[in-house]
Amino acid sequence: MNNQIIVFLKALLGSCKDLLPIILVIAFFQFVVLQQTMPNVGDILVGLVLVVLGLTFFIYGLEMGLFPIGESMAQAFAKKGSISWLLTFAFCLGFGTTVAEPSLIAVAKEAAIVAASGGIIADTVESQLSYANGLRFTVAFAVGLAIVIGVLRILRGWPIQYLILGGYVVVVLMTIIAPSWIIGIAYDSGGVTTSTITVPLVTALGVGLASAIKGRNPMIDGFGLIAFASLTPMIFVMMYGMVIG
């Protein structure tokens, strides 16, 4: 029990260190550059304590729950030997975690407002909603597909650079032909898809698969799933823009 407390306190100290840069930056700009006093000091202190506690719990749970489940599922699928089930799982994981992602919902909503004000779609609530939903499902489908491609790559041992660099070429080509109002949104959509819970799960899945399959190196083959998940949405959102526009 004592041992656990020491581990927890150490983790707590680590979280404080992780947070220190933000506190310094905010304090410097508030006092030195903007020359203002801190508003609601009490609220801020309570908030900081919560952030530190939250980060500590998250990392604690990460190594207890999220990493083990990702790896044990990867091993179970590898043992089962059914590629089609593994790919179905990969697609569901990518699609399911993205379609409900709050930051994606927020970006899609803003993108709908852009499109309506630019006259690309009718300026009604309904058409905005259908546009935002279309965008959301496009991105979710893209992420599902990305995880499928990424898992296939691990199974086959394809080198990642050709796939990713090939993807970049497609992004560049699409940028030339896609309508200009979609480009900023498309580029951003690559970054917002990967949430705090998806990332550890998907990473553990990739590393678990690469270590379960003979001849794969977990370092070279295990990482890279998230890279695909941030690349395909750009391509698909630009496609979506071309279809709508």
Site for other proteins in 160-199 (CB under 8 A): 160-161, 164-165, 168, 171-172, 175, 181, 183-185, 187-188, 190-199
**Which segment (42-50, 121-129, 131-139) binds other proteins by CB under 8 A?**
42-50
- Please give the Cα distance from 35 to 243 (Å, whole number): 50
CA–CA distance, 205 with 71 (Å, rounded to integer) = 5
> Least CB distance from residue 184 to other proteins, whole Å?
3
Q: Where are the alpha helices (DSSP H) in 29-66?
A: 41-61
By beta-carbon proximity to other proteins, the closer residue of 16 and 130 is 16
Q: How far is the CB of 58 from other proteins (least distance, A)?
A: 3
* Alpha-carbon Rg for the chain in angstroms: 22
Residues 21-40 that bind other proteins (CB under 8 A): 21-22, 24-26, 28-30, 33-34, 39
* CA separation for the pair 193, 144 (Å, rounded): 11
Closest CB to other proteins among 130 and 175? 175
110-to-79, 120, 131, 180, 185 alpha-carbon distances in Å: 44, 14, 11, 16, 9
The minimum distance between CB 9 and other proteins, in angstroms, equals 16
CA dihedral 231, 234, 237, 243 (to 10 degrees): -110
**Binding mask of the shown chain, residues 96 to 135, with x at each position contacting other proteins by CB under 8 A:** xx-xxxxx------x--xx--xx-----------------
